[in-house]
Structure 1
Amino acid sequence: MATPTLRQLEYLTTVVDTGSFTRAAEQLHVTQPALSHQIRALESAVGGPLLERLPRSVRLTPMGRAVLPHARAALAEAERLRLVARRTAGLEEGELEVAAIYSVSLGILPPVLRLWRHQHPGVRIRLREYPHADRLQDAMTAGRADLAVGPAPAGWEGPIRELGVEEFTIVLPADDPLADNPTATVALTDLADRAWVHYAPDNGLADLLDHACAQAGFHPQTAIRAEQTSAAPLLAAAGLGPALVPANIIPPQFDGLLLRPDPPIRRTLTAYTRTRPDPLTVAFADLLAQQARVNPAALSAAATLPDRTDVPARGQNRTPHARSSET
């Protein structure tokens, strides 16, 4: 049985993406008979039909649906190999694909990207954002990025770098009655009867909020669901309900009340790659870890949150909430 070629895999993904042999042939700058011949050769190589021709489109067969993710991963890996070869040859240009959950792209990544651009001006960064840690891990498994930044992946076989612990804060409007709390903390049970600024179901912070509230003994009522993580603190400050957000995404001079959950809610953030990352990917992971180490406030945003060192917090010896997957 012949081995599928990268060209055949490219032809397959292009037909699927365009939904048409005609449009795929135009995009690939080949004739339609030549494209059809290569698809048949690929089907012969894998041992079965991959595409079904419909009157005005094409659809994947069950075998095609199984093969397509591997085809995309193989093409992505081939592109990375090409870039690695160029870097090894001493070229000062290339492209690094970084995947992150939404809150990371709002919080810890921007200052790292700024420093990276200063150190490596010829290397382009392509940022891919995902609402949930599971989708982030799936994207890495499928070969869509060189490095991922988010909660620790389950069962990951490649290198994982722990960056630090991310703190969460409760956001309320500035005139909320809890603004008089001298400890600048709040127990989730004190908010059990309120309707929350929740997150869209596919946003991992929805899981985290539900999990934290469940540990506190209640299920959060929903006032509104935010699609974008960045919208949650703004909606909460506007009085639509309390929101649980990563402290490091709160903008400077934020016009809202910030309270520390008691007990604290935290999660560990990591950077992870596949088994054998190239030197450029390793360098970016090193920079992430270095910045998290020299500037831990980038994760906790400690300067943003109220200082509670002067007043003992309620339940300060209790075990912190477990984290969940997110964004």
Structure 2
Amino acid sequence: MATLRQLEYLVAIVDEGSFTRAAERLHITQPGLSHQFQALEREVGGPLLERLPRAVRLTPAGRAMLPHARAALADAERATTAARRATGVAGGELHLATLYSISFGVLPGALGIWRDRHPGVRVRLFEHRRAEDLAAAMAAGQADIALGPPPTAWEGPIRYVGTEEFLVITHAGDPVTSTDQTPGIRLADLADREWVHFTPDSGLAGILDRACAAAGFHPKIAVRTEQAPAAANYAAAGLGPTLVPANTIPPHFAGALLRPDPPVSRQLTAYTRTGPDPVAAAFLDILTDQALLMPTHIRRRLRLTERAPQSRR
């Protein structure tokens, strides 16, 4: 049976791209690494890597084994952490995986509270562009908790965190902000505009495309960016409207905020591969209580805007 050490060698060789660099990373001799790796290949009954002049390439058997090797190493690390927590050790790490937009908008408040309550437990954050990538990384054992949209066909525990609302952002002088619709806007009314869009590998790109498709058009593109805060700033500068999570808008933001009609939103969940240990469960409780899916400054600003048209009548 393959040992954890041998699986660690496989992962290191693949990540480093060579036996020499893997041996340096693991602080062992290259002959020792090669010997253990050959023993692993004998155990599985065939080659796991093809040795090229300047690199290595996984064989079909290696590609099949690699995700399981990563998951086994991650599980072993979490087992050690859980045992230390159970024996009263205050240190260790909480591994958390999420999407870039959620990391910016939802997590700061919850992580600040976590830091105050558990200063000895470090947080290691893994950020992904798309919900599918997040779920795949979580299935491979990357983290203790994943925070993102509900994963498809997930077999582990899932906790509902809340519903994240999206807002249309445009520049403060945009004519649409002076209509009786304010602070709401039908996306169809913006069909002829060029939009501040997102790079195709960003999950936010899919949300914007689906919302526009539901309104009957495909958005023309003025510029693409990867991050929601950058998109909001470009929209505020007049490059075109965009659609971003409300919790990514900072206080005193210069652009105009409009609620799409009908609303655009996404559910957020926290999910784990197995039942969370006490420390992970404590973070889930903080996250559920503190996640600011619609920050107070945004709620206040939208309410004030809603009253403005009435005051002009």
**TM-score where L is the length of structure 2:** 0.94
Tell me: CA distance 1:181–1:309, structure 2 relative to 1, closer, same or farther (3 Å). Answer: same
For 1:205-220, what aligned pairs fall within 5 Å after superposition? Answer: 205-220=204-219
After superposition, residues 182-193 of structure 1 pair within 5 angstroms as 182=180, 183-193=182-192
Q: Counterpart amino acid of 1:7?
A: R
* Contact residue 165 and residue 294 of structure 2 kept, 8 A: no
Pick aligned residue for 1:152 from 140, 150, 153: 150
Q: Does 1:228 align with 2:227?
A: yes
* In the alignment, structure 1 residue 120 sits paired with structure 2 residue 118: yes
The answer to whether the 8 Å contact 2:164/2:294 transfers is no
Out of 299, 302, 306, the position equivalent to 1:302 is 299
Tell whether 2:24 aligns with 1:17: no
Aligned partner letter, 1:86: R
Distance 1:177 1:311, change over 3 A: closer
| Structure-1 residue corresponding to 2:194 | 195
Deviation at 1:102, TM superposition (A): 1.3
Instruction: Give the alignment partner of residue 101 of structure 2, picking from 79, 83, 103.
Output: 103
Per the TM alignment, residue 276 of structure 1 is displaced from its structure 2 partner at its CA by 2.5
Bigger mean CA offset, 62-71 vs 116-125: 62-71
CA distance in 2, matches of 1:54, 1:234: 47
Q: Quick one: which amino acid aligns to residue 123 of structure 2? A: I
Aligned 8 A contact 1:248 1:299 in 2: no
CA deviation vs aligned residue, 1:255-297 (integer Å, no higher than 9, x gap): 00111111111111111111222211111111111224xx664
Other-structure match for 1:290: 289
Which residue is equivalent to 1:31? 29
Q: What residue is the counterpart of 2:159 in the other structure?
A: 161
**Alpha-carbon distance in 2 for matches of 1:146, 1:235:** 35
CA contact (8 A) 2:166 2:246 kept: yes
- Offset of residue 47 of structure 1: 2.1
Matches of 2:48 and 2:112, distance apart in 1: 44
Q: Which runs of 5+ in 1 are unaligned?
A: 313-327
Distance 1:138 1:286, change over 3 A: same
CA contact (8 A) 1:94 1:122 kept: yes
1:289 aligned counterpart, secondary structure: helix
Deviation at 1:35, TM superposition (A): 1.1
Per the TM alignment, residue 304 of structure 1 is displaced from its structure 2 partner at its CA by 4.1
In structure 2, the partner of 1:62 is 60
Q: Secondary structure at the match of 1:222?
A: strand
For residues 56-79 of structure 1, what are the alpha-carbon distances to aligned partners after superposition, in whole Å with 9 as ceiling and x for unaligned? 222211211121111111111111
Once residues 157 and 303 of structure 1 are traced to their aligned partners in structure 2, the CA distance between those partners, rounded to angstroms, is 39
Name stretches of at least 5 consecutive residues in structure 2 with no aligned partner: none
* Conservation of the 8 A alpha-carbon contact between 2:246 and 2:294: no
Task: Say if 1:149 and 1:269, in contact at 8 Å, map to a contact too.
Answer: yes
Distance 1:215 1:116 in 2: 39
Determine whether 1:264 maps to 2:250.
no
User: What RMSD, in angstroms, separates the aligned Cα atoms of the two structures?
Assistant: 1.8
Deviation at 1:169, TM superposition (A): 0.5
Shift of 1:303: 2.8
8 Å Cα contact 1:107/1:298 also seen in 2: no
Cα distance, 1:103–1:305 mapped onto 2, change above 3 Å: farther
Matched-pair contact (CA < 8 Å) for 1:169–1:244: yes
Q: Is the 8 A contact 1:167 1:246 kept in 2?
A: yes
Rounded to whole Å, the distance in 2 between the matches of 1:92 and 1:10 is 27
The SS at the match of 1:302 is: helix
1:305 to partner: Cα distance? 2.9
Contact 1:99 1:136 in 2 (8 A): yes
| Structure 1 position 136, deviation (Å) | 0.8
Match of 1:48 among 29, 46, 66: 46
**More helix as a share of residues:** 2
With 296-305 and 255-264 compared, the bigger mean Cα shift is at 296-305
Q: Which amino acid aligns with 1:92?
A: A
**1:179-208 alpha-carbon deviations (Å, 9 max, x no partner):** 212431110010000010010101111111
User: Secondary structure of 1:303's partner?
Assistant: helix
Aligned length: 308
- The two structures have a TM-score, normalised by structure 1, of 0.90
Q: CA deviation at 1:230?
A: 1.8
Distance 1:296 1:71 in 2: 36
Partner residue of 2:3? 5
Question: How far apart are the structure 1 equivalents of 2:280 and 2:132?
Answer: 21
State the identity as a percent: 60
